[in-house]
Amino acid sequence: MSAPNETFLLGERLFSPEDLSSIVARVAGQIDADYQGVGESLVLLGVLKGALYFLSDLSRRIQAPHQIDLIGARSYDGTQSTGAVAITKSPDTDLTGKHVIVVEDIYDTGRTLATIEDYLRRHEARSVALCSLFAKRRGPVFPANLRYIGAEIDDRFIVGYGLDCDEAWRHLPYVAVLTSPSIADPS
């Protein structure tokens, strides 16, 4: 991205802290219903750094015993997807034989989650499910393995509650659209 953050403006607020809290509660309920009785073999694997806030709230809402871990993946530069996804940090724990739920901030092209899913299959996770707080409507359907979606949004660039633009706005307790004449479709 060439434009500095000063050229961006916070636009419409899409999700209040209360909205986010009810989304988290609903997703946690779905996960609890699906993973009853798997015990300590359940791992929530958050994708750094955007999913940190969601992961933290979700983990406290899920009643099923579980561990958390973190994986690093990077595809975006500013508001633009670079197309290639790199794993920048491996999980600390051995995920072999674990039921892993990948916790992501936002599903856009799906490349990040596909890369992480491939990583987990190679490391012989027992099962892999994908959970994303937000998912952008780009096509008619989302892939079947994207099992938990907090909220679907239009194809706009959003920030707050963990989601950033070049590290800015991550800390906002709500989610808003970032507006700029220079924002292009990140696909």
Please confirm, yes or no, whether 166 is among the known catalytic residues: no
- Shortest gap between Cβ of 177 and ligand 5GP (angstroms)? 9
Is residue 107 at the binding interface for ligand 5GP, with CB under 6 A as the rule? yes
Instruction: Select the binding partner of residue 110 from ligand 5GP, Mg ion, none (C-beta < 5 to 8 A, by kind).
Output: ligand 5GP
* CA neighbor of 138 nearest in space, from 109, 113, 112, 114: 109
Query: Which H or E element spans position 24?
Result: helix 17-34
Q: b/e for 94-114, b at 16 or more Cβ within 10 A?
A: ebeebbbbbbbbbbbebbbbe
Report the number of secondary-structure helices (H) and strands (E) in the chain. Answer: 3, 9
In the numeric block, the tokens 């707050």 are attached to 160
Q: Which is nearer to ligand 5GP, 57 or 108 (CB)?
A: 108
Give the one entry of Mg ion, ligand 5GP, none that residue 26 binds, where binding means its C-beta sits below a cut-off of 5 to 8 angstroms depending on kind: none
Amino acid at 49: K
Of 44, 102, 129, 163, which one interacts with ligand 5GP (CB under 6 A)? Answer: 163
Comparing CB distances to Mg ion, the nearer of 116 and 128 is 116
- For residue 158, the one-letter residue type is I
Residue with tokens 């609903």: 26
Instruction: Using the rule CB under 5 A, give the single segment among 61-69, 79-87, 101-109, 136-144 that binds Mg ion.
Output: 101-109
- Which C-beta is closer to Mg ion: that of 41 or that of 59? 59
How far is residue 177's CA from residue 157's CA, in Å, rounded to a whole number? 6
Instruction: Single out the residue of 61, 111, 123, 138 in contact with ligand 5GP (rule: CB under 6 A).
Output: 111
Which residues are part of the catalytic machinery? Answer: 108
Binding site for Mg ion (CB under 5 A): 50, 105
Which parts of this chain interact with ligand 5GP (CB under 6 A)? 47, 50, 75-76, 81, 85, 104-112, 157-159, 163-165
